[in-house]
A = this chain, B = another copy of it.
């Protein structure tokens, strides 16, 4: 952020504004404070018969790795609508979004991940624009070493564990620490 989006000033500061308790971008010319807050990444666990639908990322970060369909929640939608939209966009599949399942704090990258159970309404799927492949996997076939993000692996492990017990599928809320190699996720 280099210019004030309200008045165009190039004198933006990044320090603690009067009456606040943490540094923000703010404009001394028009006094607008430019708040920045965490983003929500929302996704689904699309299930058909005994298989889970994963897609292969066609874009960075983690291009070529497998993921559950997920992406940034958009203004004007609910969490569940976002989960269904991302599943459609990335894997051309329609899910009946069900219960909240996993919630992950990723404070180092200012994100909260949220996954919902998502039974597919039929076995149809395809390869969305941001994917290079999409496939239904049984538990034995999951490419555990080629998953894009820790949030994906944890969610899948819980899912298969709960399914092996014939449920329940309790909500898990967990923190994810920065990776040793790169504190990046998406």
Contacts and interface: CB of A to CB of B under 8 A. Distances in A.
Interface of A: 1-8, 10, 21-22, 34-40, 72-81, 89, 99-100, 103, 105, 107-108, 110, 112, 171, 173, 175
8 contacts: A21-B89, A37-B72, A38-B73, A76-B107, A76-B110, A78-B175, A79-B105, A100-B173
Interface centre among A1, A3, A6, A81 (most CB of B within 10 A): A3
B5 A74 contact: no
Contacts of A175: 78
Given A37-B75, A80-B173, A99-B173, 9 more contacts: A3-B4, A4-B5, A37-B40, A38-B74, A38-B75, A76-B108, A78-B107, A78-B175, A79-B103
Per assembly, the copies of the chain total 2
Contacts of A76: 107-108, 110
A21 B175 CA distance: 32
A146 B139 CA distance: 51
Contacts of A10: 8
Contacts of A171: 100, 171
A41 B135 CA distance: 36
Contacts of A112: 40, 73, 79
A75 B110 contact: yes
Contact of A34 (B5, B72, B77, B173): B5
A40 B35 CA distance: 13
Interface centre among A38, A100, A107 (most CB of B within 10 A): A38
Nearest to A25: B5
A40 B36 CA distance: 11
Contacts of A103: 79, 100
A38 B40 contact: yes
A74 B112 CA distance: 11
